[in-house]
Amino acid sequence: MTILFYKADGPYGCFSNFSPHPIRLQGRIWLTSEHYYQAHKYINSPHAALCEQIRQASSPEMAAALGRDPRYAVRLDWEAVKLQVMYTAVFTKFSSHPDIRAVLVGTEDEPIVEDSPSDSYWGWGADHQGHNYLGRLLMQVREQLRLAKPTEQGFHPEYLTSDRLAKPSQIVGWSPEPTNPKLHHSDSLGSS
């Protein structure tokens, strides 16, 4: 059965970047993985001051709005690094919170799909033909968490080294082409 998720308050809501699971990266606390992702659009850009403003945003919705503001140009290498930035945020989130790590690992080998009706990059979009990169990253993190040996406090920070973080070409099922996971007849296709 395909695992569908979308909103933080829906089924499998902990898979959403808006879920209230803070992460510690780069010596700072980020309220959500969305905060981390949006702020990193502006590192080494003419608008680098936005990074801290986004980090301190009171909600993931506010962080997303600031990060998507068309008045500000993102860093020049954003398209090349955004998958790695998201992967780092997602891996850190699930390695830091045993409760949601158990939910993710508990999905076993089922396909995971962000059921976004409007985002065919991170989700599968309205036509269910999108890239589903967030779902694919979650499946990669799931596999790595199965293989890793956590401590009582979660994973040691040194686990998050660049040689241990997946590159896009190493992500399970990675392809520049959109994929449409095969759904079982019992799967729900409605948004959560």
| Every domain of the chain and the residues it spans | 3-170
Q: pLDDT tens digits for the chain (192 residues)?
A: 999 999 999 999 999 999 999 999 999 999 999 999 999 999 999 999 999 999 999 999 999 999 999 999 999 999 999 999 999 999 999 999 999 999 999 999 999 999 999 999 999 999 999 999 999 999 999 999 998 866 554 554 444 444 444 444 444 444 444 344 443 333 333 333
Q: Are 94 and 100 in contact (CB under 8 A)?
A: yes
CATH number 1.10.10.10 given to 3-170: no
**Length of the chain, in residues:** 192
Phi, psi values for residue 67, rounded to 5°: -70, -25
Report the run of H or E that residue 64 belongs to, with start and end.
helix 60-67
